[in-house]
Amino acid sequence: MPVLGAGEAVKHQMGGQVDLTYTGAVWSGPAAFTEAGVAPADIQYVSIYDSFTITVLITLEDLGFCPKGQGGKFVADGNLISGTGRLPFNTDGGGLCNNHPANRGGLTKVVEAVRQLRGEAHPKVQVKDCHLALAHGTGGSLGTRHGSATLIMERD
């Protein structure tokens, strides 16, 4: 599956300028989108590392899928539900239901994104004609120091 764009970043305590309202995705996301030449509105499926609820909410905002502070509303409005929402998300069940902690982290996110692009996801959650997907991983501890990685892939 061709990679269109990728970005990596680290965030830490920033010399004491601590701000818990954003993650390294504010840097890795734009790098990946710029390289790919696409915008968040173009993405048809996302896999986002989901260690905790707040991890997903902040990452959705940082990647530009909704305005800052609107992550909760974006999710509550059903946007992540495949078939009806505008941004189908973690259709493998995510970390809680499928693959954490035995296979935590980024690679499982890539696996499901590739399944979606190949049309090999579970029929109940397969995104119709999915050709552009994003996978995002977070490693470390969100509140102290972590690494962020964004991958945008396109089906041939």
Applying CB under 8 A, does 97 fall inside the site for another protein? no
Q: Which of 16, 41, 84, 123 binds another protein (CB under 8 A)?
A: 16
Min dist. Cβ of residue 20 to another protein (A)? 6
Binding range to another protein, per CB under 8 A, among 10-18, 46-54, 71-79, 111-119: 10-18
Applying CB under 8 A, does 53 fall inside the site for another protein? no
Applying CB under 8 A, does 13 fall inside the site for another protein? yes
Total binding residues toward another protein, as defined by CB under 8 A:
9
Residue 117 has which token pair?
């692009």
Q: Which of 3, 10, 18, 107 binds another protein (CB under 8 A)?
A: 18
Min dist. Cβ of residue 99 to another protein (A)? 25
Residues forming contacts to another protein in the complex (CB under 8 A) are 13-18, 20, 143-144
